[in-house]
Amino acid sequence: MRLTYALGPQRLLNGRVEVATGGYFDGDITSVDLSRGRVDLLPQLAVEPSLSFNWIDLPGGSLRTDLVRARVNYTFTPRMFFSGLLQYNSASRTLGTNLRLRWEYSPGSELFVVYTEEQDTDPLRPDRYDGLRDRGFVIKLTRLFRN
């Protein structure tokens, strides 16, 4: 069963609230999601928050997992923008970051610069001094050739 309520995009704070419950493998799940929201702080700057809370009951035990996300979009020009995603996952106790710059330097031709990182936030981890799990840096250049 799922119940959804959506706030219209014409509002300053908009998005969707959803409550769901049902079967999950050999157990049950109940979830509450707050998503698809968008707050325009400036004409070129927007924040998109998202929250997800999940209660899972299985024959082997129960658990709760939460996911908190925030996406930030900044538009420099119609052909260049920056996007950043920050995400915390309570089940894996990780904090993930994804930063992306996109520039369409010529119609159909683009440059992407992407930085991704995932940190472990578990305070009981033995090697806590370096919580880095993953890191990546990518540059992608595309060029459209026309006859």
Higher pLDDT, 129 or 116: 116
Higher pLDDT, 1 or 38: 1
What pLDDT, on the 0 to 100 scale, is given for residue 52? 95
What pLDDT, on the 0 to 100 scale, is given for residue 140? 97
* Pair 3, 21: CB distance under 8 Å: no
AA identity, residue 29: I
pLDDT band with cut points at 50, 70 and 90 for residue 53? very high
Nearest to 143 by CA among 115, 86, 103: 103
What pLDDT, on the 0 to 100 scale, is given for residue 80? 97
* Pair 34, 5: CB distance under 8 Å: no
Please give the structure tokens belonging to residue 101: 């710059």
Nearest to 94 by CA among 56, 132, 124, 54: 132
- Is residue 129's pLDDT more than 60? no
Sketch out the chain's domains with CATH numbers: 2-141 (2.40.160)
- CA dist 90 and 77 (Å) reads 36
